[in-house]
């Protein structure tokens, strides 16, 4: 695996432009468009690093130079990246980003923000064109996504701004609000303005005439070096995408992927007017490759965790004072949500396999350190004391007596860590670490249970296989007399 | 040579040993007698260096190796009986042949069939485990032997024959031996000198005859007579 990475970096290769995306459909499709235009222009070869989680991870990857370009939204840039929520103009953002070695392309033309939707017939009947019009119909029933209900820039703020009142407002999972609206059980729902469902269902979007929802215009966010080193590519991106994609177009492309099960590459190619034969070569990476990647992630991180965790656990068992601090340290790591831990790795190790391996190793550390410490410090003190009398010192005491006696418990800890790691490793895909998570992340973006399962089922199978493998390993590692769990009451 | 001089040992606030002195010369066996909790095992653990005295002095020459048999055997459950026995020899880097030869000799000494050496501790009886533990203590032929009720779990016949055997071995091999026991008869078989402990204090030191004929304290008589057969039983059985 490491050899492959080296080979890719060999000097004979053409220069690469690494294209990133977040892990939702629209971002995947836009990134595919970018990658296809890069390849077409021919100045460089596109390398896809798609599905890199949320803003924190993908922006971190851009800032650290692990990717060169990805699609972003002006509202996110102002609020989450520059932390200047009042910043409105693209030009002002471009200037601010310039100081960070980054640049912005021209706006792509559509705006992915919250909107309210009603049935088209109801809109006609009640004369609804703007959100403000809703204030005249307090008898309507609304269903909103829980996220929208809670956010200050969601329902609470909107209600205040427009003075809205409904007969009923209930929380409902986003995917369920569409059928509820179409079947007439509710009258108003929140949507994203480029949602694929909008293209298919007969819905009317209400105009945000008081401009309450912040502007989320799509733009290309890139490293300045990309624009400088590959001027033709940068110009082609501006020319072919800038101002060309309106809300309806983006919604249709999203529908292509989300509802009609077309690949992101196909959806992108459709927009670019390319034949899908050209894009059929999209590397729908095979299960075998993903399995290898996943096994590699688990094997390397588990090995590292054992090599580090065993000595740490032994040390903790030897030094009471150190044990407190040490166990607390590894415990704290465990409380960091996996995605957060992964994103902390980006400034240090960039994206890809390395940061995933480091994060996974840290995660696997706790069960190993804790069980090793517990196993060794709870050994029968008379048996441990006897080692001194018998003249066993240092590593011999450890290797001949303590570790064998503790082996059942320690192996159980390693087994737990291994099975945990198989599951956690699916998150590696969020920072471009590969493995089964790649399918799960894509499936989540498409809201496609089938795709999610093609990643989740092999991961579950691998967890079972690894568990069985460790049961077998017990026969090698744990002394025979301890395995049968005899009532050793002597 | 083993010597304790005015040794005091406390656990937390509680005094386990209070001003205890005793000396054991090579070639002699010293018996520690006393009721449960008197401090007998604590004396051995001080000599082994597993505990430090709070006051007084503990001297042992030579300091290593020492043979030690604990009350419960303390065999390693993951090792066969034979591997348990040769463990100190492996630690001392003996050759495999030398280990095997010594193992056979010791098995014969304590009366265990060589086949038993392949068994794990949980596959042995309590008395067999005690004898394996004794073999392990004798493995390096140590000049100092500390035995904490080594024959507790044996039947009377094996016990008597082993007592006689060990008594001979200790005498011939010129070892300094401390033997802890509750059993006055064992004290008689092994002991040139007896130390009777009670609540961490030395009540009396001397031969069994001294203790019986010139008790320093009513406790001495009480302790000795508690283990003698009651007069009616002795009469009845014509003991
Ligand atoms: N590690 C320890 N911590 C605290 N107290 C201890 C410890 N070891 C022994 N003691 C106490 O010291 C006293 C003497 O214990 P010791 O084991 O020497 O008695 P013993 O004469 O060997 O008794 P037995 O015949 O029951 O084995 C007891 O009161 C015991 O509870
Ligand atoms: Mg004792």
Mean pLDDT calculated for residue range A23-28 = 91
Q: Is B151 in the pocket of ligand 1 (CB under 6 A)?
A: no
Q: Which ligand is nearest to the CA of B40?
A: 1
User: How far is ligand 1, taken at its centre, from the CA of residue B66, in Å?
Assistant: 21
Q: pLDDT at position A324, please?
A: 87
Judge if the beta carbon of residue B41 lies within 6 A of ligand 1: yes
* Mean pLDDT of the A82-92 span: 88
At residue A430, the pLDDT reads: 86
Among A369, A319, A104, A306, CA closest to A220: A104
Look up residue B122 and give its DSSP letter: G
Task: Please state the atom number of ligand 1 nearest to the C-alpha of residue B9.
Answer: 12
Residue B40: CB within 6 Å of ligand 1? yes
Contacts B44 to A, Cβ<8 Å = none
**What is the rounded average pLDDT of the residues A463-475?**
92
Is some CB atom of chain B closer than 8 A to the CB atom of A399? no
Return the residue in B76, B93, B178 with the most chain A beta carbons within 10 A, the one to mutate for interface testing: B76
- Residue A489 is predicted with a pLDDT of 40
Q: Domains of chain B: which residue ranges? A: 2-64+143-237, 76-142
Q: Tell me the nearest-neighbour CA distance from A311 into chain B, angstroms.
A: 22
Ligand 2 mean position, distance from CA A88 (Å): 83
pLDDT, tens only, A128-138: 999 999 999 99
Question: Side-chain half-sphere of A307: how many Cα atoms within 13 Å?
Answer: 7
Q: Residue B38 Cα, ligand 2 centroid: separation in angstroms?
A: 8
Separation of B42 CA from ligand 1 center, angstroms?
6
Return the structure tokens found at A444.
């989540």
* Residue of B4, B10, B11, B196 to test ligand 1 pocket, by largest number of atoms within 8 Å of CB: B11
Residue A340 reports pLDDT greater than 90: no
d(CA A337, CA A318): 30
What CA–CA distance (Å, rounded) separates A352 from A49? 9
ipTM of predicted assembly, 2 dp: 0.88
pLDDT of residue A364: 93
The number of residues making up chain A comes to 490
Q: What is the residue-wise DSSP string for A429-486?
A: GGGT--STHHHHHHHHHHT-HHHHHHHHHHHHHHHHHHHHHHHHHHHHHS-HHHHT--
Query: pLDDT class for A275, splitting at 50, 70, 90?
Result: low
What is the nearest CA distance from A320 to chain B, expressed in angstroms?
19
Looking at beta carbons, which residues of chain B come within 8 Å of A400? 87, 90
Q: Say which range, A11-20, A49-58, A274-283, A386-395, has the weakest mean pLDDT.
A: A274-283
**What is the pLDDT at residue A4?**
45
Is the beta carbon of B126 within 6 A of some atom in ligand 1? no
Nearest-CA residue of chain B relative to A487? B122
Instruction: Please name the member of B64, B75, B90 whose beta carbon is closest to the beta carbon of A490.
Output: B75
Percent share of chain B, pLDDT over 70: 97
- For residue B148, the CA-to-ligand 2 centroid distance in Å is 7
> Which residue's CA is minimally distant from atom 18 of ligand 1?
B39
Q: B2-64+143-237: which CATH topology?
A: Rossmann fold (3.40.50)
The pLDDT of residue A487 is above 90? no
- CA separation for the pair B166, B168 (Å, rounded): 5
What is the distance in angstroms between the Cα of A299 and the nearest Cα belonging to chain B? 29
Listed by number, the residues of chain A in 355-374 with a beta carbon closer than 8 Å to a beta carbon of chain B are: none
CA-nearest residue for atom 31, ligand 1, is B37
> From the CB of B38, is ligand 1 less than 6 Å away?
yes
Which among B50, B65, B73 has CB closest to A391? B65
Mutate to test the pocket of ligand 1, among B14, B42, B183 (most ligand atoms within 8 A of CB): B42
Which tens digits make up the pLDDT trace of B10-55?
Answer: 999 899 999 999 999 888 889 999 888 999 999 999 999 999 999 9
Q: For testing the chain B interface, which of A387, A489, A490 should be mutated: the one with the most B CBs within 10 Å?
A: A490
Structure tokens at A426: 């699916």
Q: Is the pLDDT of residue A115 over 50?
A: yes
Sort out which chain A residues have CB atoms less than 8 A from B48's CB and list them: 388-389
Q: Give the closest of B74, B90, B136 to A383, CB-based.
A: B74
* Cβ-nearest to B78 among A388, A392, A481: A481
Strand extents, DSSP E, A94-174: 102-104, 114-119, 141-144, 168-171
Average pLDDT over residues A480-487: 67
The whole-angstrom separation of Cα B129 and Cα B133 is 6
State the average pLDDT over residues A227-256.
94
Q: Which of A388, A404, A481 sits opposite B120 (nearest CB)?
A: A481
Per-residue pLDDT at A220 exceeds 50 = yes
Alpha-carbon distances, residue A278 vs A21, A258, A282, A283, B58 (angstroms):
21, 21, 9, 12, 90
Spatial distance between the Cα atoms of B52 and A147, rounded to a whole number of angstroms: 66
Distance, CA of B199 to CA of B34 (rounded, Å): 9
pLDDT digits (tens, 9 = 90+) for A373-411: 999 999 999 999 999 999 998 899 999 999 999 999 999
Separation CA B145–CA A388 (nearest Å): 15
Q: Considering only CA atoms, which residue is closest to atom 7 of ligand 1?
A: B11
Nearest chain B residue to A386 by CA distance is: B74
pLDDT, one tens digit per residue, over A151-189 is: 777 899 899 999 999 999 988 887 788 888 999 999 999
* Alpha carbon of B165: minimum distance to chain A alpha carbons (Å): 24
E strand or H helix that includes residue A256 = helix A247-258
How far is Cα B190 from Cα B197, in angstroms, rounded to an integer? 17
Of A383, A400, A488, the CB nearest to B122: A488
pLDDT tier at A486 (50, 70, 90 boundaries)?
A: very low
Which two three-digit tokens encode residue B92? 């001392």
Q: Give the pLDDT mean for A97-124.
A: 93
How far A376 CA sits from the closest chain B CA (Å)? 15
The b/e string for B85-110 (b: 16+ C-beta within 10 A; e otherwise) is bbbbbbbeebeeeebeebbeebbebb
* pLDDT confidence band for A244 (50 / 70 / 90): very high
Residue of A nearest to B92 (CA): A391
Q: What is the pLDDT of residue A365?
A: 92
Which secondary structure element, helix H or strand E, spans residue A223, and what is its range?
Answer: strand A218-223
Distance from the CA of B46 to the center of ligand 1, in angstroms? 12
Which member of B64, B68, B72 has the closest CB to residue A490?
A: B72
pLDDT (0 to 100) of residue A12: 62
Q: How far is B185 from chain A (nearest CA, A)?
A: 25
Q: Before A15, cis peptide (omega within 30)?
A: no
**Is the beta carbon of B152 within 6 A of some atom in ligand 1?**
no
The protein residue with its alpha carbon nearest to ligand 1, atom 30, reads: B37
Block means of pLDDT (10 residues each) for chain B, length 239 residues? Answer: 93 92 90 91 94 94 86 90 96 95 92 93 89 93 91 80 79 86 82 89 90 88 79 70
Determine the distance in angstroms separating the CA of A392 from the nearest CA of chain B, rounded to an integer: 6
Report in angstroms the alpha-carbon separations of A372 from A31, A317, A367, A453, B79: 46, 8, 8, 35, 21
Closest atom of ligand 1 to B51 CA is 1
Sign of CA dihedral A63, A64, A65, A66: negative
pLDDT of residue A6: 46
Structural domains of chain A ordered from first start: 13-111+216-279 (3.40.190.10), 114-206 (3.40.190.120), 283-489 (1.10.3720.10)
């Amino acid at each position: 695996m490491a050899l492959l990475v080296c080979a890719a970096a060999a000097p004979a290769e053409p220069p690469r432009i690494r294209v990133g995306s977040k892990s939702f459909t629209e971002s995947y499709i836009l990134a595919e468009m970018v990658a296809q235009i890069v390849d077409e222009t021919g100045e460089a070869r596109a390398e896809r690093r798609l599905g890199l989680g949320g803003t924190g991870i993908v922006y971190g990857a851009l800032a650290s130079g692990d990717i060169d370009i990805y699609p972003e939204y002006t509202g996110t840039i102002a609020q989450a990246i520059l932390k200047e929520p009042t910043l409105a103009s693209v030009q002002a953002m471009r200037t601010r980003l310039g100081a960070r070695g980054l640049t912005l392309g021209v706006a792509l033309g559509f705006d992915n923000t919250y909107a309210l939707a009603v049935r088209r017939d109801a809109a006609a009947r009640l004369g609804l064109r703007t959100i403000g019009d809703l204030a005249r119909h307090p008898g309507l029933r609304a269903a909103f996504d829980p996220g929208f209900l809670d956010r200050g820039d969601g329902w609470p703020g909107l209600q205040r701004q427009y003075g809205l009142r409904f007969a009923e407002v209930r929380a409902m999972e986003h995917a369920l609000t569409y059928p509820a609206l179409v079947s007439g059980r509710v009258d108003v729902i929140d949507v994203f303005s480029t949602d694929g469902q909008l293209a298919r269902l007969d819905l009317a979007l209400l105009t945000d005439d008081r401009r309450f929802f912040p502007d989320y215009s799509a733009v290309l966010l890139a490293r300045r070096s990309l624009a400088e080193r590959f001027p033709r590519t940068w110009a082609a991106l501006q020319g072919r995408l800038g101002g060309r994609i309106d809300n309806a177009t983006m919604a249709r492309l999203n529908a292509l992927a989300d509802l009609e099960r077309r690949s992101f590459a196909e959806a992108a190619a459709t927009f670019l007017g390319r034949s899908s034969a050209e894009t059929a070569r999209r590397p729908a990476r095979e299960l075998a490759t993903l399995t290898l990647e996943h096994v590699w992630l688990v094997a390397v991180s588990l090995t590292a965790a054992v090599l580090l965790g065993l000595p740490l656990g032994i040390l903790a068992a030897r030094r009471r004072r150190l044990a407190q601090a040490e166990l607390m340290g590894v415990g704290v790591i465990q409380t960091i949500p996996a995605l957060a831990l992964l994103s902390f790795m980006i400034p240090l190790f960039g994206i890809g396999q390395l940061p995933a391996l480091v994060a996974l190793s840290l995660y696997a550390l706790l069960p190993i350190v804790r069980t090793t410490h517990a196993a060794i410090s709870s050994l029968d003190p008379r048996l441990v004391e006897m080692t001194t009398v018998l003249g066993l010192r240092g590593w011999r005491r450890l290797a001949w007596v303590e570790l064998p006696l503790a082996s059942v418990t320690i192996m159980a800890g390693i087994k737990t860590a291994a099975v945990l790691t198989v599951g956690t490793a699916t998150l590696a895909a969020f920072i471009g670490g590969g493995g089964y998570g790649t399918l799960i992340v894509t499936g989540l973006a498409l809201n496609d249970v089938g795709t999610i399962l093609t990643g989740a089922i092999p991961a579950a199978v691998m967890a079972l296989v690894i568990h069985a493998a460790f049961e077998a390993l017990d026969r090698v590692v744990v002394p025979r007399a301890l395995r049968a769990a005899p009532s050793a009451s002597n | 040579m083993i010597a304790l001089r005015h040794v005091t040992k406390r656990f937390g606030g509680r005094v386990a040993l209070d001003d205890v002195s005793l000396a054991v010369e090579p070639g002699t066996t010293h018996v520690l007698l006393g009721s449960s909790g008197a401090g007998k095992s604590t004396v051995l653990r001080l000599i082994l260096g597993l505990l430090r005295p709070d006051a007084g002095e503990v001297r042992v020459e030579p300091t290593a190796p020492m043979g030690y048999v604990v009350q419960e055997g303390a065999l390693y459950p993951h090792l066969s009986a034979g591997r348990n026995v040769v463990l100190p020899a492996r630690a001392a880097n003996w050759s495999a042949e030398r280990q095997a030869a010594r193992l056979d000799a010791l098995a014969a000494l304590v009366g265990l069939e060589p086949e038993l050496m392949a068994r794990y501790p949980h596959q042995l009886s309590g008395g067999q485990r005690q004898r394996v533990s004794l073999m392990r203590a004798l493995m390096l032929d140590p000049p100092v032997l500390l035995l904490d009720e080594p024959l507790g779990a044996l039947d009377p016949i094996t016990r008597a024959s082993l007592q006689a055997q060990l008594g001979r071995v200790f005498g011939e091999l010129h070892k300094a031996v401390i033997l802890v026991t509750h059993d006055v008869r064992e004290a008689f078989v092994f002991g040139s000198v007896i130390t009777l402990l009670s609540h961490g204090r030395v009540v009396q030191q001397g031969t069994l005859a001294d203790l019986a004929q010139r008790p320093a304290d009513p406790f001495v008589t009480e302790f000795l007579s508690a283990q003698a057969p009651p007069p009616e039983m002795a009469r009845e059985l014509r003991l």
